[in-house]
Chain A
Amino acid sequence: MTADMSKLTGAYAVDALGEAERVEFEQHLAVCAECAAEVRELRETVAQLGAANPVNPPDELKSRILTTISRTRQDPPMADPMAPASRQRSDRTTGWPVRIAAAAAAVALVAAGVLGGIAWQTQQQLEQAEQQSDRAAARSAELSAIMLAADTRVVRDSNGRQQGAVLVSEQLGKAAFLGDIAPPGDEHVHQLWLIGPDGAQSAGLLEPEASGGTPRIVELTPQVSQLGVTVEPTGGSPQPTTEPIMLMTLRA
């Protein structure tokens, strides 16, 4: 297993791992300083491939970017874990939205926890923690946007121990899934599906440590009518192979 994992440095450096494998490999990097050093060197190597053929972008892009950054607040050196959720949370919200705001804060707190353990971490891990924190912050902002959209509806599903809810905004064309799902067991994962008349499309795996409440944000195309969760073998499946343990109808 370990010997096999250390061979993934190349695939990781070119962002060629599947989502589940990437998560697993990053966990491995935490305990394999040699792998982390190799990843760093291979990243430096592929960056030279990336830079070898420059193309000048249009000048309008530069003006657009300069305008955007002049209006964009910069992150502090260490992520401020409560900022995105608490700042945008509305006092008028009650019930589910509050719980979801809390979940967004929880996401940020997980990131903060990761950042808190930095002292003993390898440099590579630090980089990953920062990326995770960025992702968590982006997710919190996206979630807030969905919560605050004028047309947001909540669709719920309860099935024994499993509890889930989806916030749907047609205006944004987005939905946020929030589940409280019992762990899927060894060698299995929970996979989220967008279901429409043409069948199911994977919306990614639900990370096991995140089943307790990390919101998953998905884009809704006009065809999508339901959101489902199934138990699949580790790594996920191209199509569902089991009956959904959770099924939420978003559009009649």
Chain B
Amino acid sequence: MAQDSGARDRSPGRRAAWWSERDTTGEDLPNEPRALLAEIAKGDERAFETLYDQLAGQVFGLIQRILRDPAQAEEVTQEVFVELWRTASRYRSDLSSVPTWVCTLAHRRAVDRVRTAQASADRERRVGARSVGTAFDDVTESVLGRLEHRQVRRCIDTLTELQRESIVLTYYRGYSYRETADLLETPAATIKTRLRDGLIRLRDCMGVGG
């Protein structure tokens, strides 16, 4: 299989191709994630390495953003890629793109880790209400402020403040929607609705699905 140099190719064109793979035009390219995953399912460790090089930055970036602690982020990143290796044969291309599948695994594992840590540390929930200002500013700066992807940035800017806060606190901080409701001193039913209509607005802005 022809392979690029080990360096991750971060040119916009390359990344656009990952996300638009539903169009299937690039399906037979050896570096296309779906083709790689099919090889991985057959036990091809080189295909795994190529896919790792393509996705590790996204996976590690997301997990570290949620967990903060780099050592734990490495552990969870390892769990995600070992799960990818183990369950490659069960991936269904009709359900989601490969990057989405991997991202879903990564997010779920990171959130599980946050919740386990919270449970064992018996987190003082009341503290949250006081620290929400800091928490949110911090996240806004560290996450939204540095978004490389201009389209994502532009779409996030179309959200209302409550939609944006709800999505950031749940997705990037791993809070449940009820915890988010406490933090924002807003009824849980409202947060639930804002999460949905906010994500629908993002979906339409980004042109996902259809």
Contacts and interface: CB of A to CB of B under 8 A. Distances in A.
Given A66-B45, A69-B45, A75-B90, A50 B106 contact: yes
B19 A11 contact: no
Interface in A20-58: 37-38, 40-58
A10 B197 contact: yes
A7 B196 contact: yes
A70 interface: yes
B107 A48 contact: no
A43 to B, nearest CB: 6
Contact of B209 (A44, A54, A64, A219): A44
A65 interface: yes
B57 A134 contact: no
A65 B90 contact: no
A134 B79 CA distance: 13
Contacts of A48: 19, 149, 152, 206, 208
B43 A74 contact: yes
A65 B81 contact: yes
Contacts of B64: 55
Contacts of B147: 52-53
Interface string A183-197: 000000000000000
A72 B174 CA distance: 29
B137 interface: no
Interface residues of B, number: 80
A13 B199 contact: yes
B187 interface: no
B99 interface: yes
Contact of A45 (B73, B99, B208): B208
B129 interface: no
A72 B82 contact: yes
B120 interface: yes
Contacts of A54: 10, 57-58, 60-61, 148
A148 interface: no
B82 A75 contact: no
B14 interface: no
Interface stretch (A86-94, A120-128, A155-163, A240-248): A120-128
A127 B194 CA distance: 26
A206 to B, nearest CB: 16
A17 B177 contact: yes
Nearest to B75: A61
Interface string B167-207: 10011101111101000000000011111111110110010
Interface residues of A, number: 59
Contact of A15 (B45, B92, B108): B108
A76 B87 CA distance: 8
A91 B122 CA distance: 40
A51 B88 contact: no
B158 interface: no
Contacts of A83: none
Contacts of B177: 11, 16-17
A54 B99 CA distance: 13
Interface string B95-132: 11101100110111001000010011010000000000
A37 B200 CA distance: 12
A9 interface: yes
Given A45-B208, A47-B100, A61-B78, A9 B149 contact: no
15 contacts: A9-B196, A42-B200, A47-B103, A48-B206, A49-B171, A53-B65, A54-B58, A57-B57, A69-B48, A74-B88, A77-B90, A123-B95, A126-B92, A201-B119, A219-B120
Given A46-B167, A51-B61, 17 more contacts: A10-B192, A14-B167, A15-B107, A15-B170, A15-B174, A37-B209, A42-B199, A48-B206, A51-B149, A53-B147, A57-B60, A66-B45, A69-B82, A74-B85, A130-B87, A201-B120, A219-B120
